[in-house]
């Protein structure tokens, strides 16, 4: 199948073939601001059938495109909030030092076109260290000996994930731009999954006891989470 997009109300929907998918489905890729249609590898119906499916879903697709916030690139003088501290990105062209924080500035050296990548790398490191601390804090509270690993990723809609057996936790780097209680809450959520894999009542009562900010953090993510995907979006 050729990979040019379908156009629905003027918005592109990009096809992706999946060997795991069982049926046609739609995904909003918030980190890159586009919608894709997932097509099972052995899909037997025609292209026309896919277009028909997309036409039926046109309202959902249009709503997704309307909801994507415009891209906010990391540039000189942009104000961001990192671990509750407002920081203005300040470009220092002649410096080759790695980004660092000084008072309320995030100083970034090197060429202007590399600011975004350097800030992103800096924030990913920050995210890793904060989330590692939070994971070890919450595992101790649950009397779990954490021997796993954490990965910092840029998933399109998920904040975290957990492979309970191997204790492999993944977190979205953008959490470092959320209030700290939200970032820590996602760590608590994934640590709680090491004990209980599903989202049952038992899971949420464990999570509530582990992290008292749970209701507040969940509300924050529902209302504001999508705005974090606007920063430094990779193009498709
Ligand atoms: Zn979960």
Is 63 found in the same domain as 114? Answer: no
Q: What's the rounded Cα separation, in Å, for the pair 80 and 75?
A: 10
Q: Average pLDDT for residues 196-208, to the nearest whole number? A: 96
Report the sign of the C-alpha dihedral through residues 146, 148, 153, 156, in that order: negative
Do 39 and 115 fall into the same domain? Answer: no
Task: Tell me how far the alpha carbon of residue 161 lies from the centroid of ligand 1, in angstroms.
Answer: 7
Is the same domain home to 57 and 133?
no
Q: 3-class SS at 124?
A: helix
Q: What mean pLDDT is predicted for residues 199-213?
A: 97
- Residues 158, 222, single domain; the answer is yes
Q: What is the pLDDT of residue 204?
A: 96
Residue 229 pLDDT > 80 = yes
Q: Is the pLDDT of residue 1 over 60?
A: no
Q: Calculate how far, in angstroms, residue 63's C-alpha sits from the geometric centre of ligand 1.
A: 25
pLDDT tens string 85-98:
999 999 999 988 88
**d(CA 48, ligand 1 centre) in Å:** 37
Q: Could you report the per-residue pLDDT of 143-177, keeping only the tens digit for each?
A: 999 999 999 998 877 899 999 889 999 999 999 99
Helices (H), 57-179: 58-67, 115-141
pLDDT at 183: 98
pLDDT value of residue 219 = 96
**Across 19-42, average pLDDT:** 92
Q: Does 112 lie in the same domain as 22?
A: no
Q: How far is the CA of 206 from the centre of ligand 1 (A)?
A: 12
CA of 150 to the centre of ligand 1 (A): 16
Q: What is the pLDDT of residue 34?
A: 93
pLDDT at position 110, please? 94
Domain residue limits at 62: 6-67
* Cα–Cα dist 17/41, whole Å: 6
Q: How far is CA 190 from CA 58, 141, 147, 183, in A?
A: 34, 13, 14, 11
**Ligand 1 midpoint to CA 85 (Å):** 28
CA angle 55, 58, 62 (to 5 degrees): 150
Task: Give the model's pLDDT for residue 141.
Answer: 96
Same domain, 223 and 145: yes
- pLDDT, residue 2, reads 52
**How much distance in Å is there from the Cα of 218 to the middle of ligand 1?**
12
Q: Between β-strands 85-92 and 105-109, what pairing exists: parallel, antiparallel or unpaired?
A: parallel
- Token couple for 10: 């003027």
Contact 181, 217 (CB under 8 A): yes
The answer to whether residue 178 scores a pLDDT higher than 90 is yes
Residue 233 belongs to some domain of the structure: no
Q: Is residue 236 part of a domain?
A: no
- Domain assignment present for residue 155? The answer is yes
Tens-place pLDDT, residues 51-83: 999 999 999 999 999 888 888 999 999 999 999
Short-list 221, 216, 128, CA closest to 171: 128
Which of 83, 179, 64, 190 has its CA nearest to residue 126?
83
Distance from Cα 198 to the centre of ligand 1, integer Å: 7
- In the numeric block, the tokens 């009562």 are attached to 205
| Residue 39 φ/ψ, nearest 5 degrees | -115, 125
Average pLDDT, the chain: 93
Could you tell me if 109 and 185 lie in one domain? yes
State whether residue 16 is helix, strand or coil: strand
- Same domain? For 101 and 216 the reply is yes
Q: For residue 183, how far is the Cα from the chain centroid?
A: 11
Model confidence pLDDT, tens digit, residues 84-134? 999 999 999 998 888 999 999 999 999 999 999 999 999 999 999 999 999
Asked if residue 183 lies in contact with residue 175, where contact means CB atoms within 8 angstroms, the answer is yes
Q: How far is the CA of 84 from the centre of ligand 1 (A)?
A: 24
CB 209 within 8 A of CB 203: no
Name the domain count of the chain: 2
| pLDDT exceeds 80 at position 18 | yes
Classify residue 173 by its DSSP letter.
G
Whether residues 100 and 57 fall in one domain: no
Q: What is the CATH number of the domain that holds 120?
A: 3.30.2010.10
């Amino acid at each position: 199948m050729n990979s040019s997009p379908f156009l629905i109300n003027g918005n592109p929907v990009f096809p992706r073939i999946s060997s795991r998918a069982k049926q046609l489905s739609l995904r909003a890729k918030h980190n890159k601001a586009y919608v894709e249609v997932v097509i099972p590898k052995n899909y037997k119906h025609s292209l026309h059938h896919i277009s028909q499916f997309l036409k039926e879903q046109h309202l959902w697709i249009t709503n997704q495109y309307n909801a994507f916030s415009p891209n906010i690139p990391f540039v000189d003088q942009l104000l961001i909030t990192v671990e509750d501290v407002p920081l203005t990105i300040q470009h220092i062209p002649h410096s080759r030092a790695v980004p660092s924080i000084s008072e309320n500035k995030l100083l970034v050296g090197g060429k202007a076109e590399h600011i975004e990548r350097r800030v992103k790398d800096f924030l990913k490191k920050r995210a890793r260290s904060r989330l590692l601390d939070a994971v070890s804090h919450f595992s101790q509270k649950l009397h779990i000996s954490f021997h796993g690993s954490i990965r910092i990723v840029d998933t399109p809609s998920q904040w975290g994930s957990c492979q309970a057996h191997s204790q492999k936790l993944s977190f979205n780097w953008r959490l470092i731009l959320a209030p700290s209680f939200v970032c820590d809450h996602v760590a608590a959520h994934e640590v709680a999954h090491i004990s209980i894999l599903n989202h049952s009542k038992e899971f949420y009562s464990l999570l509530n006891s582990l992290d008292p900010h749970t209701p507040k953090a969940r509300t924050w993510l529902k209302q504001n989470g999508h705005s974090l995907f606007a920063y430094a979006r990779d193009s498709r």
